[in-house]
Amino acid sequence: MKLHTSLSAVAALVLVSINEALPAPPEAPADYRLLYEQNFDDADALQDFVMTDPRAWRIASDGDNRSLELFTQSDYRPPHRSPLNIALIANKVFGDFILEVDLLSTKEPYGHQDMCLFFGFQNPANFYYNHIAVSADPHAHNIFLVKDAPRTAIAKKTTDGITWGVNRWHKVKLQRDTASGTIKVWFNDMSEPLMLAEDKNFSSGYIGFGTFDDTGKIDNIRIWGPDVEEKKTDFFTPPGR
């Protein structure tokens, strides 16, 4: 586990020890356990992912911190209007889950400056994604459904937008409950959801990270849930290639 704040070496070691034993978030049901964790310290971390264009992704090093970086636009044409830059956790299908991740935008601020989370991913034409952006409009800063058609906004609650800044890490959390259909998203402030939606089109699927058409970094992925299905990913590209 890495820290994105400035601490003395002693304090950092203490916090690392504490965080390594970090339990599931307090809202997690009793049967939730840690299903997946990735902090990109391992040089082989890219093997965990399939991408719309693997040539657009790399492991970035900033001092002693490593992260997954989308550094250029993907050469990819989705079957319907939807994000271009996607890195999915390969071969793992999640149902109910709580996801925590650190996200950073490397794009200069503008209205649609964004980072995205993908979930319930069935195939490139059927999935959900959470678009977190500076400004909200019908195509930005919402929870979207792609179902054999261009993306449709489905959030019952959202905000006017957030501030990414440039090269600033932010903590994001997403919770999915398939029985109720609820989707909740938090951004930095974990006391109040940023977005809420209800939808039951997809009860399980792959989880991923990226951006519609910007660039950015991903780090410190943790996913809790009751179980995960090991299932080969049969789209995009082979892991690590």
101-157 residue pLDDT tens: 999 999 999 999 999 999 999 999 999 999 999 999 999 999 999 999 999 999 999
Mean pLDDT of all residues in 63-68: 95
Mean pLDDT of all residues in 45-74: 96
- In one letter, which amino acid is 123? N
Percent of the chain at pLDDT exceeding 70: 89
Percent of the chain at pLDDT exceeding 90: 85
Mean pLDDT of all residues in 182-192: 97
> Which of 43-47, 97-101, 178-182, 186-190 is the least confident region?
43-47
- Residue 108 CB contacts under 8 Å (≥ 6 apart), including other chains: 166
Q: What does each C-alpha distance from 135 to 111, 138, 172, 185, 230 come to in angstroms?
A: 5, 10, 17, 16, 37
How far is it, in rounded angstroms, from Cα 170 to Cα 7? 17
pLDDT value for 158: 97
CB burial readout 64-87, b (16+ within 10 A) else e = ebbbbbbeeebeeebeeebbbbbb
How far is it, in rounded angstroms, from Cα 22 to Cα 16? 10
How far is it, in rounded angstroms, from Cα 186 to Cα 95? 19
How far is it, in rounded angstroms, from Cα 22 to Cα 161? 30
How far is it, in rounded angstroms, from Cα 152 to Cα 80? 11
Q: 1-22, pLDDT tens digit by residue?
A: 565 654 434 334 433 443 445 6
The mean predicted confidence, pLDDT, of the chain is 91
pLDDT value for 96: 98
- Look-up of token digits 């992925």: 221
Q: In a 3-state reduction of DSSP, which class is residue 223? A: strand
In this structure, what token pair is assigned to residue 139? 């195509």
In this structure, what token pair is assigned to residue 191? 């006391």
Which pTM value belongs to this model? 0.90
pLDDT value for 161: 97
pLDDT confidence band for 24 (50 / 70 / 90): confident
- In one letter, which amino acid is 178? T
pLDDT value for 12: 41
